Amino acid sequence: MTQKTTRKLLVVTDLDSSLLDEDYGYDGAKEAIRELKEHGFPLVPNSSKTYAELRFLAHELEQCYAVVAENGGMVAVHKESVIAPEGEADAFGYIPQSSGMSRQEILRYAHGLRASEGYQFEGFSDWSVEQVVEHTGLSTESARQAMERDTTEPILWRDTDQEWEVFMAKMQQHGVKALRGGRFIHLMGPVDKAQGMQKVTELYQQAEPTTEWVVVAVGDSANDKAMLEAADIAVVIPHADGPRVDPNNSHRIDAVQTGSKGWGEAISNIIKNF
């Protein structure tokens, strides 16, 4: 066994209502982000957002060399990072690696059932950029990035609950599961945020085998539960009405404030006590 000579934090975070506020800003977290960078502690976004969306944010933050997109469906690492895996970098300098099932495969099953059985639903693949803007409230450019999906399909279910149960039973036979977000149901393969976090942690451990990595996961919703439970330290960001996820983790920290302010305060306290 390799002897560990140093300890570092690895912060893996959800975005919406965690690091990011409702206006997609993160003013309350900027000081903590600066502290992470100063100590050389990596920051990894782990979100239902697409690789295109996360790539833009990572560039803005200037210290995210790895991103986990589409609820664990894709991990992308910048070619200049110490954890860069073997593979060809894309035009943006990242080496993307998909896990599980492709979006094309998911759509083939879902749209096939819709055509043959008449289920009522619609999703991103059915809409124009303008319609995605209408359904999400995103800007036109952000909507375009949100449409660049590789491993998931967000849908709006327009049918009955009973028909949903039948539809999903048939989808599960093909290995497709559903994850309910705030606005959409995400059809996806057998992956989750915890698996994406594990993949990135393994890459850091391989790159620095003498480092003991203490993984901090930050999240606010049921979508983050598996990730929060798999981390060494779980940070729960509350909503205005209180916390919406209850992870089973003995090293759990409940942020006092919502959004980026709660994120910044919790991460700064962890760094201070580390």
Residues 121-137 have pLDDT tens digits of 999 999 999 999 999 98
Q: Is the pLDDT of residue 168 over 70?
A: yes
112 lies in the same domain as 152:
yes
211 lies in the same domain as 148:
no
Neighbours of 256 (CB within 10 A): 11
What is Dmax (Cα atoms) for the chain?
A: 60
CATH value at residue 36: 3.40.50.1000
Question: Which element (helix H / strand E) includes 21?
Answer: none
What percent of the chain has pLDDT above 70? 99
Residues 24-47 have pLDDT tens digits of 899 999 999 999 999 999 999 999
Q: What is the extent of the structural domain holding 181?
A: 103-188
Task: Give the pLDDT score at 62.
Answer: 83
CATH value at residue 126: 3.30.980.20
Task: Give the pLDDT score at 100.
Answer: 74
Q: Which of 15, 34, 35 is nearest to 25 (CA)?
A: 15
Write the burial class of residue 125 (CB in 10 Å: 0-12 exposed, 13-18 middle, 19+ buried). middle
Find tokens 């606010």 and name the residue: 220
CA angle at 207 for the pair 15 and 205, rounded to the nearest 5°:
65
Helices H / strands E in the chain, number of each: 9, 12
Task: Give the pLDDT score at 1.
Answer: 65
64 lies in the same domain as 80:
yes
Task: Give the pLDDT score at 267.
Answer: 98
Q: What is the mean pLDDT of residues 239-253?
A: 97
Reported confidence tier of residue 63, pLDDT bands at 50, 70, 90: confident
CA angle at 165 for the pair 161 and 171, rounded to the nearest 5°:
135
Task: Evaluate whether residue 7 is within a structural domain.
Answer: no
Residue 150 phi/psi, 5-degree rounding, is: -115, -35
35 lies in the same domain as 91:
yes
Name residues whose C-beta falls within 8 Å of residue 238's C-beta, 6 or more positions apart in sequence.
220, 244, 254, 255, 256, 257, 258, 262
Task: Give the pLDDT score at 23.
Answer: 87
Q: Please say which residue of 188, 218, 236 terminates a domain.
A: 188
